Amino acid sequence: MAFKFLNELTPEGKRIFRGDAAPSAATGTTFRAGDLILYNGGDSRKPIGWRCTTAGDPGTWEQVGVTAIEVRYNIAAGAVTGDFDGVQVVDPLHASKLAAVRMRYQTASSAAETLMVKKVPSGTAKASGTDCLAAGMALNGSADTNISGTLHATAANTEFAAGDGVGLVASGTPTALDGVGIVLIFVRR
């Protein structure tokens, strides 16, 4: 795999290259932390590029500007535990990573229920799925307020294989909960 040097990016010596992928084996180039490789292929599902996080040949790389995938749940008025049923496949063709969870409701639950996001591989019951959040999101907080879920500290809990599903599990019976909107943002790996 050939990489073409394009330019110095900063006075600190970070550089920009062009290539088809991040290096996974020795290339003869020692990359510096902060170096960028811009994708120059024609596959629209690929990221904009990769950033070197640990210097070396090949170094360690992370994707930059990966394609985002949104999974939305809209729970109508008079929500009950059953309204959170079902599992949605995140991406049937590509692995992805949960990057953010946002929720908002018009009327809070009357009790201290929570909502957990679960990773649900094929053949797994939703309740037996893997917790994606460090703790459940409170359903009895302030109405009409954006709530952000805190992602689980274990990276594997938020990494989805191609075809994995995502589901929501409410604790208790959210009796007065009304007008719930949840957005889960994934990025392709």
**In the prediction, which pLDDT does 172 show?**
76
- Do 71 and 101 form a contact (C-beta atoms < 8 A)? no
Task: Tell me how many degrees the CA angle 153-158-162 measures, rounded to the nearest 5.
Answer: 160
**In the prediction, which pLDDT does 102 show?**
92
**In the prediction, which pLDDT does 164 show?**
93
Q: What are the structural domains, with CATH classification, of the chain?
A: 4-64 (no CATH), 68-188 (2.60.120)
Structure tokens at 80: 């009950």
Residues of the chain with pLDDT under 50: none
**In the prediction, which pLDDT does 11 show?**
58
